[in-house]
Structure 1
Amino acid sequence: MSDSIDPWLLERLVCPATRTPLRYDEEAQALVSDAAGIAYPIRDGVAVLLIEEARRIGA
């Protein structure tokens, strides 16, 4: 299984909360919404883009 996300797909994904682009954090295996300050987990290669599953990041 690949540890990266398809760049074509990443360009099209947006944060469900803010509708802003997401960035891929390979180390955390998450898609990060800098605008919302949250990270959506990637589980078994599938991005879980549910606001209730996201975790807060930063300060």
Structure 2
Amino acid sequence: MSVDPDYLALLVCPISRTPLRLDAERNELISDAARLAYPIREGVPVLLVEAARPLAEQA
């Protein structure tokens, strides 16, 4: 499933208030500023901090 690009442009990270980018391969919205990945379930972005996955640190 994908997210409508117009809809995606309106979404921001609930922590950093910065735009999110789509990782279509993993079906997640990524917040680079907060280093979190928010899941997309059944086409609906779940922008809850409790549901977010921390991004691995890059070496």
The Cα RMSD (Å) is: 0.7
With the length of structure 2 as denominator, give the TM-score of the two structures.
0.91
* Matches of 1:10 and 1:57, distance apart in 2: 20
Counterpart of 1:50, as a letter, is L
How far is the alpha carbon of 1:58 from its aligned partner? 2.4
* 3-state DSSP of counterpart to 2:9: helix
With the length of structure 1 as denominator, give the TM-score of the two structures.
0.91
Match of 1:36 among 34, 37, 43: 34
Query: How much identity, in percent, do the aligned residues show?
Result: 58
> After TM superposition, which residue ranges in structure 1, 4 or more long, deviate above 6 angstroms?
none
What is the count of residue pairs matched by the alignment? 57
